[in-house]
Structure 1
Amino acid sequence: MDKNTGIGFVLIAAIVIGFTVLMKPSQEELAREQRYQDSIQNVQATQLKEDIQTADSADKAKQSVVGDFFDATTAQPINDSIQSETTDSLSVSALPSDSGVEQIATLENEKIRINFSTKGGQMLSAQLKDYNTYAGDSLFLFKSDAKLALELMNKKGITLNTSQADFRVIQGSGDAQTLVMRMNYSDSQYIDFIYALSPNSYMLNFNIAVVGMQDMLSVDCLERFKLNWTQNLRRQEKSKSNEQRYSRIHYKGTDGSFEGLSESNSETKDVPTGVKWVAFKDQFFASVLITDNEFVSPALSSTVLESEDYLKSYSATLYFKPTLAEKGALVGGFKYFLGPLDYYMLKGYDDGVENTQQLDLDKLIPLGWSLFRVVNQYFVMPLFNMLEGTGLQMGLVILLLTVIVKIIISPLTYKSFMSSAKMRVLKPQVDEINEKYPGQEKAMERQKAVMQLYNQAGVNPMSGCIPMLLQMPILLALFSFFPSAIELRHESFLWASDLSTYDAIIEWNTNIPLVSSWLGNHISLFCILMTVTNIVYTKFNMDATNTGQQQMPGMKYMMMFMPVVFFFVLNNYPSGLTYYYFLSTLMTIIITLVCRWVIDEEKVLAKLEENKKKPKKKGFMARLQEQAEQAQRTQQQQQKGKGGSQNKKKK
């Protein structure tokens, strides 16, 4: 080390030592800092004491609610030191809570995992193992956002709500996993919530037993117990608006009726009749509470939520008459269905069950009204199920379904096109009639002549419409089927990552007035393809069916505008639906071209000319002609009457 370096180190050391001496606090400053630290410790100690007192007060208040409900002169409360008794068939864990220790018990099989909390003795969460959300997360029907509580009232008018009570796990055994959650006041007075989950099932058995309280409950309470059930419906799908469209509260009446609340608006409803079950459902999943007997006059409420994570808030106030069992226990039997809306699985719950006792849970799947539902149940779904069983990609399944449907209705399509061909070859003769009777004042003569021409040629203008009407039940049934088919969920095809929701090729975050409210913040490619093919088909069909007769003003433009309207309506619907409509319209265009190539219009015209020579029976066209003649006579009489009135006025 050289001389300059040594001098540098000495100077640095001198500066550090000098700075330390100069900045050293005085005795007075040290005493002030000590007093400050002592005051902080005193405040923290006081706050901790207050927190403990608050927790004790809350615990005592809760115990007071339970204690006030029970008649303390007839029984003594149990010792708080009693520990939970569990078996190896249950998974039980402990979590800290505001008052003591909250235990989380789990029932689990191959399909579902359900957590229960000793706070209220109720389900805490329900996870479906075979399904994920649109974001790829584990799918929970609810997760600390659902409650089911029993509410009782004693003779003094004091109410006990089990959501405020502490339960304990006392049992878990049997072939089906069983969990008993007990709220004790004494050894002879308690409430049991008994849960049992069978293997490979989405159905959870749920029983309530109220023991030792018959003499203390009010008369009204003995007649009917009250259940309060609430759940915030979690968003599971990519298209929130489409999922919300199919989310609603449903219920089945004991008279066999099937009703529901509004899908689009908030609604509250008091049901005047008995109810077998109540369902909180979204597009593809549902929580259903089923009673062994009936719920009496339930009150239901559904509120639309403005949230990105939740769709709606559901609530149900349910009353049931308890059954008197052994040892004076008042019991009620229920089942929970917690699972996907799979048609054949739901239908399977009614196998071997009498018609009057069937649950009809399959009605939770919106397959359309009356005739359309029948078409889906007995034609579309069996065909789709058979094609799905081939193991082909879902896009190819829809393609095959479209081809088969088109083949089945092809005779109707051919008949409709043949009717259009007959009208088309007669167009030159219709044009001659239009030239012979021009103007509005000769409209009746013109119509009469055209009807006479059709009658002589054996042509029925309505014969082309009837085949189209016969196809409508299938088309409308498929409109209901695709948005409800859980089989399409998370199935990809080409650019569509999920056929159960829209296939966006363009997305934006900015809200565009009118556009965003109709389209959403995206544009779907299959919807564009569907719209383009519909415009082409509409133009092609209008040219092919032009018979020369005058149409309503603006009808041509209205027909061309309809595909654009459907684009705005269907842009947010599942890509599986718009993909089907695109294929169906494209095949219709191809079939039309084939028909035009196959049908010899010269032969058609020659046959119609031969028909003119044959004697005519009084059929549909003859009746139309008579009506036209009658209308013409009426018009002539009215004109004569007006002419006579005008002549009198002139005189």
Structure 2
Amino acid sequence: MEEKKFDVQSLIGFFLIGGILLWMLYNNSFDDNNKEEPKDNIEQVESTPVDTNTQEAPSQNALTDSTAIAEAKKNLGAFGYSATLDAASGKTTTISNDVLELKLENKGGYISEARLTQFKTFDSIPVYIIKDGNASFNLRFTTNDGRVLNTENMYFQPNVTRSGENQVLSMKLKVSETEFLEYRYVLKPGEYMLDFSIRSQGLNRVISSSEPVNLDWKLKGYRHSKSISYENRYTELSWEYDGGEDDYLGQGDLKDDEAEDVTWIAFKQHFFSSILLTDTPFTSAKFISKNLVQDEDVDTLYTKDFAASMPLELKGGELNYNMNWYYGPTDYKILNDYDRNLDEVVPLGWGIFGWINKFIFIPFFAFLASFLPSYGIAIIVMTIIVRIVLSPVTYKSYLAQAKMKILRPEMNEINEKYKDNPMKKQQETMKLQSKAGARPLSGCLPALMQIPVFYALFQFFPSAFQLRQKGFLWADDLSSYDTIAELPFKIPFYGDHVSLFPILASIAIFVYMMMTTGQTMQQNQQPGMPNMKFIMYLSPLMMLFFFNNYASGLSLYYFISNLITIGIMLVIKYVIVDEDKIHAKIQENKKKPRKQGKFAKKMQEMMEQAEQQKNAKK
């Protein structure tokens, strides 16, 4: 009976203790008006931090926390103090303005979510540069007692204040109330750029000065555009170094590089970028870029994986770096307005091509877009004006072609007469062209002069942030490809859709080539040489495939440009240029003694010497 009595008493005691614990949990977690079930009470207590100052008796959770704190002090040494603070609850802190919302993790003190509030992705969801663990920011250092610690594993204590209209967030990783490592964020109204500083106070006795403090920053770029392959083509890691020079890793499955005296690092995505700037240059930095798009059908979330690693210098045993973060559009105007050389992040072309874009096309296009009803019309108007400005060059090029066309019968006679003597044939051809005032280079040079303009515009349209999600005619986004038909299969190098603007551009290019080079190609076909007519057909076809996944704004430009060029050439041919007059003038020129240029004279002398040596050997 005693054993049974003991079992009953134990059972009663178990239920009694359980009831008391449930009652304590109930009172600590809910107000008098809340009458939910005890099971729900327990769940609420587990997710809500406990106020130890008002608690009369330690709960089981508090005992567990005490054990964790002791373990933290054992592992973290002096930094174990941070585990005793409220930040150990693992919350996030949010700061925002009208264009940017940032969430920061108490654990690690870094930005864990960055949302651009004014923009949507191609599928109408908010644009996040950082979300769901795709980015990390960590300081790795060694303490005087030999521990290697990472800030991403420790808890910072947040404190949000205001300085005028600015939001100030101080995140402190504490050794004591007066000794800490601080990340300080200052967000201003309407700005994508925030002030950021790293400083320490009283840590010279904690952090070892014999080992470097290393900053590691990583980010996997989210997809934001309709074509992930096209977006990935303009996604790359770039940096500024050596007082104003800039460089980038470029494309490739795995790229890496190093630099010294680095003043900013940009994880550039096509239309949105993350940039870290520092007033105190990093003495050195290592960069890695890994391509994450191997198969567009499978790899649909991320474009590239970026990583940068930089040592931070201790001064007097303390850290003190003033920096900035930029989370925003890869927009030339916005970046250029900061006057920090950030416009180099936008790929406008090197050398003269970039200058043409910066000082001509970007301001001119912005001017047109300011009053025209759509960006598509602005592209058309700008293309028309560019072609009109270049029309004198087109005229000179066509005039040179017309002269060569008139001389072709005489050149054919020379080819037939000296078909067994290539040297003599070349000499006589040059003499004929010189007397007539018709040189092949006179047609090539005007065409070469247009290359900088064409290449600059080729760089301009894919980089124009203004075109993003702006529609025109059947294209719903001029920064991406237009679609008039979806294919039930995928064609290699072409895609699974049909874009109309590239088709129109390819037809216009084909017509232009027929007008300018079709007849010449056919008549100058040499035995054993590749079929030039086939090449003429192949070029527009290659462009059709190449541009099917490119920005429709670029295809629109090429279509209008070639259409206008065709029109200008028809006007030149049938209105301005009179081939009979050109022929008569050529005949007059042939009768006049013509002074040779130094280059032509030198070439003729060399050819004559070669001919004499050849005859002497016979």
1:97 is matched with which residue?
A: none
Is the contact made by 1:420 and 1:545 (CA closer than 8 Å) also made in structure 2?
no
1:337 is matched with which residue?
A: 326
- Which range moved further: 518-527 or 331-340? 518-527
1:88 is matched with which residue?
A: none
- Which range moved further: 601-610 or 528-537? 528-537
Is the contact made by 2:69 and 2:83 (CA closer than 8 Å) also made in structure 1?
no
Q: 1:186-225 residue pairs with structure 2 within 5 A?
A: 186-221=176-211, 224-225=212-213
Q: For residue 180 of structure 1, give the secondary structure of its aligned residue in structure 2.
A: strand
Cα gap change, 1:546/1:218 in structure 2, threshold over 3 Å: closer, same or farther? closer
**Structure 2 CA distance, aligned partners of 1:443 and 1:56?**
100
2:434 is matched with which residue?
A: 455
2:360 is matched with which residue?
A: 379
Kindly provide the amino acid, as one letter, of the partner of residue 323 in structure 2: F
Per-residue CA shift, 1:18-76, capped at 9, x if unaligned? xxxxxxxxxxxxxxxxxxxxxxx9xxx9xx9xxx999988995676355544349xxx9
Give the alignment partner of residue 317 of structure 1, picking from 297, 309, 331.
309
Aligned identity (percent) is: 36
List alignment gaps of at least 5 residues for structure 1: 1-40, 85-99, 351-358, 641-651
Is the contact made by 1:294 and 1:320 (CA closer than 8 Å) also made in structure 2?
no
Is the contact made by 1:226 and 1:319 (CA closer than 8 Å) also made in structure 2?
yes
Is the contact made by 2:181 and 2:203 (CA closer than 8 Å) also made in structure 1?
no
**Structure 2 CA distance, aligned partners of 1:238 and 1:159?**
44
Give the alignment partner of residue 526 of structure 1, picking from 501, 520, 523.
501
Shift of 1:469: 0.3
Kindly provide the amino acid, as one letter, of the partner of residue 177 in structure 1: Q
Kindly provide the amino acid, as one letter, of the partner of residue 469 in structure 2: H
Q: Does 1:162 align with 2:151?
A: yes
2:479 is matched with which residue?
A: 500
Is the contact made by 1:427 and 1:547 (CA closer than 8 Å) also made in structure 2?
no
Shift of 1:343: 1.0
Is the contact made by 1:539 and 1:560 (CA closer than 8 Å) also made in structure 2?
no
Give the TM-score normalised by the residue count of structure 1: 0.79
Shift of 1:239: 1.0
Q: For residue 162 of structure 2, give the secondary structure of its aligned residue in structure 1.
A: coil
Per-residue CA shift, 1:325-348, capped at 9, x if unaligned? xxx863222110111111122111
Kindly provide the amino acid, as one letter, of the partner of residue 130 in structure 1: Q
Is the contact made by 1:62 and 1:165 (CA closer than 8 Å) also made in structure 2?
no
Q: Does 1:614 align with 2:612?
A: no
Give the TM-score normalised by the residue count of structure 2: 0.83
From the CA coordinates, give the structure whose radius of gyration is larger: 1
1:233 is matched with which residue?
A: 221
List alignment gaps of at least 5 residues for structure 2: 1-17, 19-38, 44-58, 294-298
Shift of 1:592: 1.1
2:52 is matched with which residue?
A: none
**Structure 2 CA distance, aligned partners of 1:450 and 1:62?**
93
2:170 is matched with which residue?
A: 180
**Structure 1 CA distance, aligned partners of 2:290 and 2:441?**
48
Give the alignment partner of residue 70 of structure 1, picking from 77, 98, 122.
77
1:37 is matched with which residue?
A: none
Cα gap change, 1:66/1:152 in structure 2, threshold over 3 Å: closer, same or farther? farther
2:21 is matched with which residue?
A: none
Q: 1:157-556 residue pairs with structure 2 within 5 A?
A: 157-175=146-164, 176-221=166-211, 224-269=212-257, 271-306=258-293, 307-323=299-315, 330-350=319-339, 359-437=340-418, 439=419, 441-508=420-487, 510-511=489-490, 515-516=491-492, 518-543=493-518, 545=520, 551=526, 552-556=529-533
**Structure 2 CA distance, aligned partners of 1:203 and 1:543?**
55
1:605 is matched with which residue?
A: 583
Q: For residue 216 of structure 1, give the secondary structure of its aligned residue in structure 2.
A: coil
Per-residue CA shift, 1:587-611, capped at 9, x if unaligned? 1111111111021111111111111
**Structure 2 CA distance, aligned partners of 1:305 and 1:53?**
46
Cα gap change, 1:595/1:277 in structure 2, threshold over 3 Å: closer, same or farther? same
2:28 is matched with which residue?
A: none
**Structure 1 CA distance, aligned partners of 2:303 and 2:152?**
24
Q: For residue 521 of structure 1, give the secondary structure of its aligned residue in structure 2.
A: strand
Shift of 1:493: 0.7
**Structure 1 CA distance, aligned partners of 2:73 and 2:412?**
91
**Structure 1 CA distance, aligned partners of 2:521 and 2:583?**
16
Is the contact made by 2:73 and 2:81 (CA closer than 8 Å) also made in structure 1?
no
**Structure 2 CA distance, aligned partners of 1:318 and 1:367?**
28
Kindly provide the amino acid, as one letter, of the partner of residue 142 in structure 2: M
Is the contact made by 1:214 and 1:330 (CA closer than 8 Å) also made in structure 2?
no
Per-residue CA shift, 1:243-280, capped at 9, x if unaligned? 111111111113432112232322233x1422111111
**Structure 2 CA distance, aligned partners of 1:432 and 1:556?**
23
**Structure 2 CA distance, aligned partners of 1:190 and 1:132?**
39
Cα gap change, 1:53/1:482 in structure 2, threshold over 3 Å: closer, same or farther? farther
**Structure 1 CA distance, aligned partners of 2:105 and 2:337?**
31
Shift of 1:183: 2.4
**Structure 1 CA distance, aligned partners of 2:469 and 2:169?**
34
Is the contact made by 2:400 and 2:442 (CA closer than 8 Å) also made in structure 1?
yes
Shift of 1:635: 3.9
Kindly provide the amino acid, as one letter, of the partner of residue 612 in structure 1: K
Per-residue CA shift, 1:528-558, capped at 9, x if unaligned? 1111111221122124657965655423322
Query: Over aligned residue pairs, what C-alpha RMSD do you find?
Result: 2.9
Is the contact made by 1:501 and 1:575 (CA closer than 8 Å) also made in structure 2?
yes
Is the contact made by 1:427 and 1:548 (CA closer than 8 Å) also made in structure 2?
no
Is the contact made by 2:356 and 2:453 (CA closer than 8 Å) also made in structure 1?
yes
**Structure 2 CA distance, aligned partners of 1:573 and 1:267?**
24
**Structure 2 CA distance, aligned partners of 1:254 and 1:406?**
40
Is the contact made by 2:192 and 2:326 (CA closer than 8 Å) also made in structure 1?
yes
Is the contact made by 2:475 and 2:482 (CA closer than 8 Å) also made in structure 1?
yes
Cα gap change, 1:421/1:212 in structure 2, threshold over 3 Å: closer, same or farther? same
Q: Does 1:586 align with 2:593?
A: no
**Structure 2 CA distance, aligned partners of 1:566 and 1:166?**
55
**Structure 2 CA distance, aligned partners of 1:55 and 1:384?**
64
Q: For residue 210 of structure 2, give the secondary structure of its aligned residue in structure 1.
A: helix
Shift of 1:430: 2.3
Q: For residue 513 of structure 2, give the secondary structure of its aligned residue in structure 1.
A: helix
Is the contact made by 2:82 and 2:154 (CA closer than 8 Å) also made in structure 1?
no
Kindly provide the amino acid, as one letter, of the partner of residue 392 in structure 1: P
Kindly provide the amino acid, as one letter, of the partner of residue 201 in structure 2: V
Per-residue CA shift, 1:410-431, capped at 9, x if unaligned? 1110001111111112223223
Is the contact made by 2:200 and 2:319 (CA closer than 8 Å) also made in structure 1?
yes
Cα gap change, 1:546/1:612 in structure 2, threshold over 3 Å: closer, same or farther? farther
Per-residue CA shift, 1:565-585, capped at 9, x if unaligned? 222222211111111111111
Q: For residue 484 of structure 2, give the secondary structure of its aligned residue in structure 1.
A: strand
Per-residue CA shift, 1:498-538, capped at 9, x if unaligned? 01011122333645xxx32x123223211111111112211
Is the contact made by 1:112 and 1:202 (CA closer than 8 Å) also made in structure 2?
yes
**Structure 2 CA distance, aligned partners of 1:625 and 1:268?**
52
Number of residue pairs matched?
A: 555
- Which range moved further: 246-255 or 459-468? 246-255
Is the contact made by 1:426 and 1:547 (CA closer than 8 Å) also made in structure 2?
no
